[in-house]
A and B are shown apart, each in its own frame.
Chain A
Amino acid sequence: MNAPTTKTAASAASCTNGYNFAYLDEQSKRMIRRAILKAVAIPGYQVPFAGREMPLPYGWGTGGIQVTASIIGRDDVLKVIDQGADDTTNAVSIRKFFAKTAGVRTTTKTAEASLIQTRHRIPETPLQAGQVIVFQVPIPEPLRWLEPRETATRRMHALGDYGPMYLKLYEDIARFGRVTTAYDFPTVVNGRYLMSPSPIPRLDNPKLDRSPALQLFGAGREKRIYAIPPHTTVKSLDFEDHPFSTERWSHKCARCGAGDSYLDELVMDDHGTRRYVCSDTDYCDSRLSAGGRR
């Protein structure tokens, strides 16, 4: 149970002879860093960048990996999660990739990490100043489902023409009595750009707002980088009479008893018995070891 949560991979760096530190060559990293700087300067704006092919497939986190590879240093401590968990296969694979190509320390503890790469979740443990969280983004364009053309959506962003998105939300309410967007719920950053928070659940949206951590978003296939600098306002779209709402459970975590975390629903048997546990494994484990079991 008390396996070490931090691993060093000093010896592993030797297996990647012929590749640069953290895989990407320095010119590519510089190009990506320039894109990141621009993204930080214009919060929520999607900066096009010449995304490289990575040795992991598109759609599996290549944008996040390129951002991480460009900013990671030898002293960084990296945490990688997928669906909130450190032990999902893709998180394991990406963590191994950086342990191997950069030889950096990795951890599963949110508080210990200087750099967190994530797919589909924000850790329950609040992020701190100085931490960087890198989101893997499949479709960076929040307007994509309303307008398939990049030429059109870029114009909409330039003009701040977000009426169609409000109209979509309004139509949901008119037809279903509520907004039916379950995840990847659109936000407005710094009062200007409409931004996809990546497919995180609505429960995570409020964590984006005024976070002390730097939040970076990388979309590899779509070749876009965007950012939320620390302490920037991020507002989930809503109407005065239909305020934004998050997921709710009538259960607590079956392992640690948490009532405030995002829960995974597990089907236990053929009779459909359900059990609910924290999707954030580190949060769940640290509550357990702190004696937080109900």
Chain B
Amino acid sequence: MGSSRTTQTKPRVWDLPVRVMHWSLVSCVLIAWLTHDARLIDLHAAAGYCALALLMMRVIWGFVGTKHARFADFAYTPRAALNYLVEALRGTTRHFTGHNPAGSWSVYALLLVMAAVTLSGVVAMAGMYSLGSPIRLSPADAETAREIHLWIAWGLLALICVHVAGAIWGSFVHRENLVAAMFSGRKTVYEQDHAEAPRRVGMAGAVVAVVVLIAASWVGLSGWLDGYQKHQANAAPDKVTVGAWEHECSSCHLAYSPALLPMRSWRRMLHEQDAHFGEDLFLPEVKMRELLAEADSVAAPSWAAWKLGQAAAPDASPQRISELGFWREVHSKLPETAYQAPISAGRHECEACHRDGHSGIFHPRMIYNPPR
């Protein structure tokens, strides 16, 4: 790498696979960012699978690709990157044909963080929704995985900001559009001995990249890796309990999974059973004990159910599931008409939209199309 300004040419520095992979990754991150809603989990996962496939291809291309695509071309030490930044701050920057030392570290960081975000996403999705891989986690562990995934995603956003800022800064300093260069592949070169990347190798790499991308999208969208197929095929998943709970509750309304409220809420509800949402239940003491014992024996059937059960303040014993913070958060985009006829009889009627309301699972795939 040098700054010998003898001749100035504009050959293709970034080969076709590098450019295809770069903008595909940009698209994947953008799609994933816009589809973080649980209902769009399939699209979100497809974007993630594509990103993972792209990352793997980029790493392979880093060893077998054309000159400036190879890691060996931008294998700078952290010290070199630091020196480059110090020089940059002093206003004396050297021009590099490929990645500069600081830019190379942004590439490494982006590759690593994107790998972390996709892999943590795979774990979180499996834990939360039993989707995408055979990994199964307890709801509490799934929540941890979700939080880790979220934090890494924020970290990725920060890194992208740095990367974009660097590209814009470099464009100004060297008076060339680096963003356009990532589209055309053409970059200013001051070296005399620069050889243009062979186009045939580039075309082959790009074709492989596109084929792998299509395969990854298919894996994500078809649910090929899902452990949820069995559940999906079953329109009426298992009921919460088949004992007194189902018998007593479901005469008037859905037998809500006991996991949706903390035990102290159920104790209070049975204690105040003579004023149960305007009705006197006349439950005998024996029946109350039976109901509480049953409720206590039921583990949260899913991450969503667990999250609701955790949503109550420690000193509160809420009586309405629809007043819990998490419930309101996940239903915040719904219009008021969702809680009116003909769609539902109110916020209590989970099964109006959740086909698996009986099971207490509340899987995103089991939601009917939302009302307009």
Physical interaction between A and B = no
